[in-house]
Amino acid sequence: MAGFFSRLKQGLSRSTQKLTGGLAAITKRRLDDEALEELEETLIAADLGPAVAKRIIANFRRTRFGTEVTDREIRESLATEIATILEPVAQPFRLDPTRKPHVVLVVGVNGTGKTTTIGKLALQFREENKKPVLVAGDTFRAAAVEQLQIWGERTKSPVIAGATNADAAGLAFEALTRAQRDQADVLLIDTAGRLHNKAALMEELRKIIRVLRKQDETAPHSVLLVLDATTGQNAIQQVRVFKEMVDVTGLVVTKLDGSARGGIVVALAEEFGIPVHAVGVGEQAGDLRAFEAVDFARGLVGEPETAPG
Amino acid sequence: MFDALSDKFSGIFEGLRRRGALSEADVNEALREVRLAMLEADVALPVVKDFIARVRERAVGSEVLDAVSPGQQVAKIVNDALVEALGGAGAVPLNLNAPAPIPILLVGLQGSGKTTTAGKLALRLRTRERRRVLLASLDTQRPAAQLQLAQLAERAEVVSLPIVAGQAPVEIARRAMDVGRREGYDVVLLDTAGRLSIDQALMDEVRAIRAATNPVETLLVVDAMTGQDAVNTARAFHEALGITGVVLTRMDGDARGGAALSMRQVTGAPIKFSGSGEKIDALDEFHPERVAGRILGLGDIVGLVERAAETIDQDEAERLAKKMLKGSFTLEDYAAQLKQIGKMGSLGSIVGMLPGLGHLKQKIEDANLDQTVFKRQQAIISSMTIQERRQPEIIKASRKKRIAAGSGTSVTDVNRLLKQFDDMSTMMKKMGKMGQKGLMRGGLSALMAQAQQGGRGNPRRPF
């Protein structure tokens, strides 16, 4: 057994070298079947999923097959190919200034970074001289309220919280009433993480929306789904169900500073076309960036991002 | 969690069963499908390749040619290889074989569920192993993380290390071990901050924690939804810390959970537990053979019975299991079971354990079934006569009307319940029969049922 594992481990590290340096290995050579297969595997290893990877490579084959290419050229053109899929969804998040407040409901499965994202968004709005109000709608998880309160202190934003296990919908209603009275620009409502296959918990989210609409029938003006970049193919199901249940208007992809490349976003762009507003690249308040299609695509194929400026 | 993979596998092997003898081309074709299914289930590419190579090696050749049915043989090879790759038969318990206080370290990426797992583990150690547990949070990164663990400790009725503001993680770890020694704790559970495997500073920090405490178990906590990055994470943490076990969280989701296989293969460490819900007792032992059974479309009936045994009572659970397997499950039993369901966890996690689940699960999702629906179903059954509960086939139009009126529901609701109950009974009967007929006549399903019977032969007592 030990022999097997050490053998496998060797094999794995070889494969990884091949994947991370995969494109370097086909430097200045004919783009043949083998080379295309390596490219396809690079995409699969970046979580694009086997079907999307296959389709992208099939397109690529049509225009490029048999040509003599350098490493750089091939990365560039593959990134360009992927960027065209991502361009339409790369839409920055914008507040509607006619809304006082613009109501943002933040949803997602457990542990994707909803609360952290709200903290980061609050900072951004503060820097734009807007007045955000945060709502600690995760009344379930231990210390979730305190976590948001600390973000409130850091970003000098008021936090509206209720008791543990309080009704999140009631809290949201109360928060909206107060935010309207105080002429806040944006109301950021945190919610408890929930797995999309739990019907009762999804119903709870719908209830929050129903109750918000009693106060403002146009609310919520945005429903942001926070997605962890390490998530694999299950993200498709996540987005599908959340979209169906609460009409998600945009995505925020978190934890892109890690080794995961978030290739599932390409599959999501193809399947749903939901805007990707921002990406999270760290735990600090400033670590939220706009989603840039070209940079993201370059990251997927292992090409460094374009130099800033 | 492995539903879709199972669906794929069943499809593939049905194809093989229908043919007669298998050629190498057949094996290759089947394995291409297996490869695709595994990739879609998020098993990491290098792990998939290795797995396929091993299965091909075993499948092509005499083993296949001599087999009664090549399809069965290939299916068995895939199943065996999967069980083996997931760690072989049986759950691997926590290693508590060390002088007290036993340090256990929990590590992983942000948001993988370490703190929740720490709370669940503490409860488990206190109630099942009868250990005195001290919980300590070394997470000085995430706001209110230490407070979260303190609150979880309260729920688990264990002690948590008092929070000292501004103390560094390594110092907290040392203090926890000191308190553990001085106050006579059996186990000190050390929860750490989530960290990225490429964050050098934080990886150095957790190395220092490890060096300072010398944990008996270093558990890597991983989200079952993790994609291809599972290999990178597993390798980085394993190289830095020497992982002794894996905890797979969010198994109550519908992710196919290929990360389980990747983690196991890269670290060589057993998957010890799986998290299956937000409640503090939702932590199960990980049984590779059952999960492989699930992959191949048979459900996890052993797990279902076990969970029932823990939340209901032993006799009731045995009666339930027998009835299910014999197919003599009545509406009365169903009504009794409905009452227990709230206790047993979310509906999704229960249905996920039933054999032939893909079909039923979809139905339940379509029907948007939640606890309210269960209450309604209980009301419907309560409005039936005893005879109707035992012989639902006598319920025709006028009885349906009466039952609907009595329970404040509609005839459609009554029909839905009857249909669903009928589907359940059919499936359970099928399951029971396959177990008895054996390999030669029952095909792949029987083969797998036998594998599961192996699991039933030496049942693990929860207490």
* Cβ–Cβ below 8 Å for B228 and A12: no
DSSP symbol at B461: P
* Cβ–Cβ below 8 Å for A49 and B40: yes
Check CB contact of B462 with chain A, cutoff 8 Å: no
Runs of H (alpha helix) within B88-197? 114-127, 145-156, 169-182
What lies within 8 Å, CB to CB, of B412 at 6+ separation is: none
| Rounded Cα–Cα distance for residues B61 and B27 (Å) | 10
Query: Which among A127, A89, A123 is positioned nearest to A225, based on CA atoms?
Result: A89
Return the percent helix, strand and coil in chain B, to nearest 5: 60, 10, 30
Which residues of chain A neighbour B42 with C-beta distances below 8 Å? 47, 232-234
* Cβ–Cβ below 8 Å for B36 and A50: yes
CB distance A102 to A172 below 8 Å: no
The residue in chain A having the minimum alpha-carbon distance to the alpha carbon of residue B258 is: A232
pLDDT given for residue B445 in this prediction? 37
Range list of β-strands (E), chain A: 29-30, 68-69, 102-107, 132-135, 159-160, 186-190, 222-228, 250-254, 276-280, 288-290
In this complex, which of B50, B143, B278 lies closest to A8 when CB atoms are compared?
Answer: B50
- pLDDT tens, position by position, for chain B (463 residues)? 334 444 555 566 665 555 555 667 777 877 887 888 788 889 999 999 999 998 888 887 645 545 445 666 676 778 788 888 988 877 899 999 999 999 999 999 999 999 999 999 999 999 999 999 999 999 999 999 999 999 999 999 999 999 999 999 999 999 999 999 999 999 999 999 999 999 999 999 999 999 999 999 999 999 999 999 999 999 999 999 999 999 999 988 877 788 999 999 999 999 999 998 889 999 999 888 766 655 554 444 445 555 555 555 556 656 766 776 666 778 888 877 776 665 555 555 555 555 444 445 545 555 555 556 777 888 899 899 988 988 888 999 999 999 999 998 999 989 988 988 888 777 777 666 654 433 233 333 333 333 333 333 333 322 3
Check CB contact of A191 with chain B, cutoff 8 Å: no
Check CB contact of A228 with chain B, cutoff 8 Å: yes
C-alpha distance from A29 to closest chain B C-alpha (Å):
24
The residue in chain B having the minimum alpha-carbon distance to the alpha carbon of residue A108 is: B111
Count Cβ atoms below 10 Å from residue B423 Cβ, excluding itself.
14
| Rounded Cα–Cα distance for residues A222 and A95 (Å) | 9
Tokens of B56: 């091909």
Exposure letters A170-204 (e unless 16+ CB within 10 A, then b): ebbbbbbebbbeeebbbbbbbbbbbbbbbbbbbeb
The residue in chain B having the minimum alpha-carbon distance to the alpha carbon of residue A145 is: B144
The residue in chain A having the minimum alpha-carbon distance to the alpha carbon of residue B112 is: A111
What lies within 8 Å, CB to CB, of B219 at 6+ separation is: B104, B105, B106, B107, B117, B243, B244, B245, B246, B247, B272
Please state the pTM of the whole predicted model. Answer: 0.75
Q: A101: cis peptide before it, omega within 30°?
A: yes
Angle at the Cα of A56 (from A50 to A57), degrees rounded to 5?
85
* Cβ–Cβ below 8 Å for B236 and A13: no
C-alpha distance from B376 to closest chain A C-alpha (Å):
15
Check CB contact of B370 with chain A, cutoff 8 Å: yes
CB distance A273 to A89 below 8 Å: yes
Check CB contact of B50 with chain A, cutoff 8 Å: yes
Q: How far from B209 is each of B16, B91, B98, B175, B240, CA to CA, in Å? A: 53, 28, 19, 12, 12
Which residues of chain B neighbour A196 with C-beta distances below 8 Å? 253-254
Which residues of chain B neighbour A237 with C-beta distances below 8 Å? 254-255
Listing DSSP states for B247-276 in one string gives EEE-TTSS---THHHHHHHHH-PPEEEEE-
Asked whether the predicted pLDDT for residue A222 surpasses 60, the reply is: yes
Which residues of chain A neighbour B119 with C-beta distances below 8 Å? 142
